[in-house]
Amino acid sequence: MDKKLMAECLSLLLLCAAFPIISIGTTGGGATLWWVGLGAIVAGGLLPVWTRYMDHSNDKVRDVGMEFDDRTS
């Protein structure tokens, strides 16, 4: 798995986990848990932006379209 896809998957997991963590922290889990959830939202939101500035010079350029898709016959 390349670095960009891994960072975007991690971002999705952080964003999905952040809302229940914040909810638990708000309803009685304590301020620390709430801050962990807020940090997860911030990190999950910044990771996709960070991937725009990664070095993509080694990425393989692929043509787009059904005629170029190697999964179709």
| DSSP string over the chain | --HHHHHHHHHHHHHHHHHHHHHHIIIII-HHHHHHHHHHHHHHHHHHHHHTTS--TTPPP---SGGG-TT--
Q: Quick check: is 71 in a domain?
A: no
Whether 37 is covered by a domain: the verdict is yes
Residue 49 confidence (pLDDT) above 80? yes
Q: Is residue 70 part of a domain?
A: no
In a domain, 23, yes or no: yes
Total domains, the chain:
1
In a domain, 62, yes or no: no
Integer Cα distance of 24 and 4 in angstroms: 31
Is 60 inside a domain boundary?
Answer: no
Q: How confident is the model at residue 54 (pLDDT cuts 50, 70, 90)?
A: confident
Higher pLDDT among residues 40 and 65, named by residue: 40
With respect to residue 65, please indicate whether it lies within any of the assigned structural domains. Answer: no
pLDDT for res 27: 92
Range of the domain at 43: 3-54
Tens digits of residue pLDDT in 61-71 = 666 777 776 67
